């Protein structure tokens, strides 16, 4: 199979593993929306410890400053940060660590968020997670919630090892909206619900007929 074809199939496997159908569409951001905090920081702590995670962040302080100043994109800064942590690590190792991290943080999920997901499911809606976090744990997050469609940041692997690069852009801000519109025919849904908590969700919320900002936080 040509490499380009395999890459495309890998992306489709994440974003549309199953074909869910429903009269409504419910889109859920994850970090800060379904649970407090950011799973990226939880993953850093999982692999490097609470103190050890700061060393790669310190090494990437200049790209982080450049991003804060608007000199480089969110995607570029995050790519360099993840490369500092994990370039050369195997996909199997990263996925295993992702599962362990999810085991640890799962009790933090907001009960109201789980109730909303189940209510939309019972109403026959199409469900999707839309997250800037990588597929190495977001796919498993979707499986645990029984949500087939997971749109997220894609890490690039070569010969089973993380290359230090993304496939495409960080799934944040305008990229979230682009992925949603690429995956779904929004005109086919009578109602579109979206749940988010930050400026990275603004474009996704703008697509919704029923946007919800920080609805589950106590």
pLDDT at residue 67 in the model: 66
Q: CA torsion angle for 106, 128, 171, 5 (degrees, to 10)?
A: 110
pLDDT of residue 22: 54
- Domain containing residue 200: 3-213
Closest CA to 55 of 69, 44, 46, 63: 44
Within-domain flag for 218: no
Closest by CA to 130, choosing from 184, 90, 93, is 184
pLDDT for res 63: 72
Measured CA angle at 168 (ends 164, 170), to 5 deg: 80
Q: Are 217 and 196 in contact (CB under 8 A)?
A: no
Q: 129 lies in a domain?
A: yes
- Is residue 110 a part of any domain in this protein? yes
- Asked whether residue 203 is assigned to any structural domain, the reply reads yes
Token reading at 118 = 């189940």
- Count: domains in the chain: 1
| Whole-number pLDDT of residue 20 | 47
Rg (CA), the chain: 17
Please report the pLDDT score of residue 51 as a whole number. 87
Name the nearest CA neighbour of 24 among 149, 123, 148: 123
Separation in Å, CA 44 to CA 28, 76, 141, 183:
23, 18, 17, 30
Q: Is residue 163 within 8 Å of residue 86, measured between CB atoms? A: no
pLDDT at 55: 82
The answer as to whether 57 is a domain residue is yes
Residue 115 lies in a domain: yes
Alpha helix positions (H), the chain: 3-15, 39-52, 54-59, 61-68, 74-86, 91-105, 111-122, 135-145, 174-183, 202-206
CATH number at residue 176: 3.40.50.1000
Examine residue 134 and state whether it is found in any structural domain, yes or no.
yes
Q: In the chain, which stretches have pLDDT less than 70? A: 1-22, 67, 72
The residue length of the chain stands at 218
24: which 2 tokens? 């409504």
pTM here? Answer: 0.85
pLDDT number for residue 13: 37
Average pLDDT of the chain is 89
Q: Is residue 66 part of a domain?
A: yes
């Amino acid at each position: 199979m040509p490499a380009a074809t395999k890459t495309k199939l890998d992306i489709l496997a994440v974003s549309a593993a199953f074909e869910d159908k429903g009269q409504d569409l419910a889109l859920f951001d994850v970090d800060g929306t379904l649970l407090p905090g950011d799973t990226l920081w939880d993953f850093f702590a999982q692999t490097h410890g609470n103190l050890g995670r700061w060393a790669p962040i310190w090494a990437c302080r200049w790209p982080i400053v450049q991003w804060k100043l608007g000199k480089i994109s969110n995607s570029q800064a995050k790519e360099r940060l993840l490369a500092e942590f994990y370039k050369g690590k195997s996909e199997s190792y990263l996925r295993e660590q992702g599962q362990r991290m999810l085991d640890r943080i799962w009790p933090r999920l907001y009960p109201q968020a789980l109730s909303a997901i189940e209510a939309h499911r019972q109403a026959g809606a199409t469900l999707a997670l839309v997250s800037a976090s990588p597929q190495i744990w977001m796919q498993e997050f979707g499986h645990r919630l029984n949500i087939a469609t997971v749109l997220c940041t894609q890490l690039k692997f070569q010969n089973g090892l993380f290359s230090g690069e993304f496939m495409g852009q960080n799934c944040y801000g305008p990229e979230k909206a682009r992925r949603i519109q690429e995956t779904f025919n929004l005109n086919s849904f009578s109602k579109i619900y979206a749940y988010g908590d930050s400026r990275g969700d603004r474009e996704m919320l703008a697509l919704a007929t029923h946007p919800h900002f920080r609805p589950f936080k106590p």
